[in-house]
Amino acid sequence: MGLFKQMKDMKDTVAAAPGMINQANQMAANAQAMQAQMMAQQQAMMQQAGAQPGVNPSMVAPGGNLEPIAGVDITTYARIVKAIAPLNYDQSLLPGIAASQCIDGASWQAAHDGWNARIQGEPGVAKAFSDVYRSV
């Protein structure tokens, strides 16, 4: 009887393999699309800063916009966001990673929304985030 059960289990595994491969491919495609979108946003912000006469985009000062949001500073935010890179950029994992850093759900959501808005809206903050992200 054990042999037949093993054969059935093997048949079930082989039948499920295409679906699992498709799911893995979809996750990889989503991660690549997300990464491309983030790169495009950062480049657009840097170009926008560079469009100002006499302003070198790499020298744009972030100003006072690096204040922590809901107790989460830019370094902590970058560390948490970077933690999903090896996990196929699965953003649903961010609250759990934040919780492991003693950040409650409401604070994480406020910080996540706030930092995203700053990064998208202010080239200096985007550059600062990029610099911190690479260094953590």
Taking only the tens place, the pLDDT of each residue in 7-49 is 888 887 777 778 778 787 788 777 777 887 877 777 776 666 5
Separation of alpha carbons 115 and 118, rounded Å: 5
What is the model's pTM? 0.55
What are the sequence ranges of the domains in the chain?
Answer: 2-52+66-135
